[in-house]
């Protein structure tokens, strides 16, 4: 029987599914260290991961490894050049989390714009003793301009929500979306710089790559309106967190909502010193329905990728399909 490693704690019923096909080594504890990950992968044919770094060194230490299923849409934790060189298949879990993530991005944007977290902390500290006309004045979403950077599935889901708020939608992407989609979403394509100048609320939903590192840094923040908000539900590293903390401290933008961070789970300490930022621990897809769907889709990918189940050899979401059927090198 083929052996797999499930590197993170997931739903026990998904583990039972996997046990129908494989001998399962399940890490139901803390995140594995790099050395422990290598050790436990040494005799494995497949792995189910959730953000664990899989590079050339890990693949070299696991000569039998043929499939790694990531329980996420993003796969910047995979060194895809190393995967391709070794003929190891990587998979991800797109689509099943689009709406939940868009919902959360909207909630985070509204919380930042309306100063919800900031006012709650103030209330809990016992400061509220009267109503004030200028207490925690925020900014409206209704009738404002939404700027979406990364008009993929989740970006489009956000743009659909904007229609209910009578918002103008501007977007920037590596390439323009189809004219039909622009028309359906009433979305206008702009350069990144023009978007930052015009948008009242900027939301980041682009994948993390070397090219997108620090897409938003000090220069970009300087282009934004002082009344604008920035929301990041994409990946840490897309925003220069140090530059953002400084801009928030100096009120060069009004507020921010962050679900992802550079070097997470560690946070840049300056972010903890500014009141006008809403911070959440990478939970944009965290509904039970969605996380179960992600876990089961990752399992589907692993089962099929290792030649088992009804879709043997045809995993639903291959990242590098050209390696399917090739011998491990």
pLDDT over 90 at 292, yes or no? yes
**pLDDT tens track for 11-20:** 999 999 999 9
List the helix and strand counts (H, then E) for the chain: 12, 12
Average pLDDT, the chain: 97
- Asked if residues 302 and 275 have their Cβ atoms less than 8 Å apart, the reply is no
pLDDT over 90 at 311, yes or no? no
For residue 130, name the pLDDT band (cuts at 50, 70, 90): very high
Token pair listed for 323: 């390696």
- Report pLDDT for 310: 84
SS3 192: helix
- CATH 3.40.50.720-classified regions of the chain: 3-94+288-323, 98-279
pLDDT over 90 at 290, yes or no? yes
The mean per-residue pLDDT over the stretch 21-36 comes to: 94
- Report pLDDT for 94: 95
Which is the catalytic residue, given 235, 262, 268, 291? Answer: 235
Q: Which CATH number is 98-279 given?
A: 3.40.50.720
Give the start-end residues of each E strand in the chain.
Answer: 3-6, 23-26, 46-49, 67-70, 89-91, 145-149, 168-172, 187-189, 201-204, 229-232, 255-258, 277-279
Which is the catalytic residue, given 197, 249, 282, 311? Answer: 282
The mean per-residue pLDDT over the stretch 63-73 comes to: 97
Q: How far from chain centre, in Å, is Cα 307?
A: 29
Q: Has 235 been annotated as catalytic?
A: yes
Q: How far apart are CA 166 and CA 315, in angstroms?
A: 40
CATH 3.90.950.10: does it fit domain 3-94+288-323?
no
- Report pLDDT for 134: 96
**pLDDT tens track for 144-192:** 999 999 999 999 999 999 999 999 999 999 999 999 999 999 999 999 9
- Report pLDDT for 309: 83
Phi-psi region of 312 (alpha: psi -120 to 50; beta: other; left: phi over 0): beta
The mean per-residue pLDDT over the stretch 119-125 comes to: 97
Token pair listed for 156: 């489009």
The mean per-residue pLDDT over the stretch 20-44 comes to: 95
For residue 212, name the pLDDT band (cuts at 50, 70, 90): very high
Which is the catalytic residue, given 153, 249, 264, 292? Answer: 264
Q: Has 198 been annotated as catalytic?
A: no
């Amino acid at each position: 029987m083929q052996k797999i490693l499930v590197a993170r704690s997931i739903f026990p019923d998904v583990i039972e599914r996997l046990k129908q096909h494989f001998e399962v080594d399940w890490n139901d504890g803390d995140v594995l260290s790099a050395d422990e990950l290598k050790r436990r992968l040494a005799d494995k044919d497949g792995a189910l991961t959730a953000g664990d770094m899989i590079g050339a060194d890990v693949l070299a230490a696991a000569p039998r490894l043929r499939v790694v299923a990531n329980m996420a849409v993003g796969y910047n934790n995979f060194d895809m050049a190393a995967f391709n060189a070794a003929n190891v298949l990587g998979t991800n879990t797109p689509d099943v989390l689009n709406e939940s993530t868009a919902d959360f991005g909207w909630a985070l944007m509204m919380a930042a714009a309306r100063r919800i977290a900031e006012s709650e902390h103030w209330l809990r500290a016992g400061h509220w003793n009267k109503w004030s006309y200028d207490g925690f004045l925020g900014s409206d979403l209704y009738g404002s301009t939404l700027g979406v950077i990364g008009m993929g599935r989740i970006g489009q889901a956000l743009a659909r929500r904007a229609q209910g708020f009578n918002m103008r939608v501007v977007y920037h992407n590596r390439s323009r979306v189809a004219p039909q989609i622009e028309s359906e979403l009433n979305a206008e394509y702009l350069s990144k710089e023009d978007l930052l100048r015009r948008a009242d609320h900027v939301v980041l939903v682009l994948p993390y790559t070397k090219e997108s590192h620090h897409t938003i840094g000090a220069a970009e923040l300087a282009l934004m309106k002082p009344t604008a908000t920035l929301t990041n539900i994409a990946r840490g590293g897309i925003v220069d967190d140090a530059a953002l903390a400084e801009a928030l401290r100096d009120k060069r933008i009004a507020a921010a909502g962050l679900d992802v961070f550079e070097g997470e789970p560690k946070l840049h300490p300056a972010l903890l010193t500014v009141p006008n930022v809403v911070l959440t621990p990478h939970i944009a897809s965290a509904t039970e329905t969605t996380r179960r769907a992600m876990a089961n889709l990752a399992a589907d990918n692993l089962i099929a990728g290792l030649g088992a189940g009804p879709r043997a050899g045809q995993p639903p979401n291959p990242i590098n399909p050209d390696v399917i059927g090739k011998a491990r090198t």
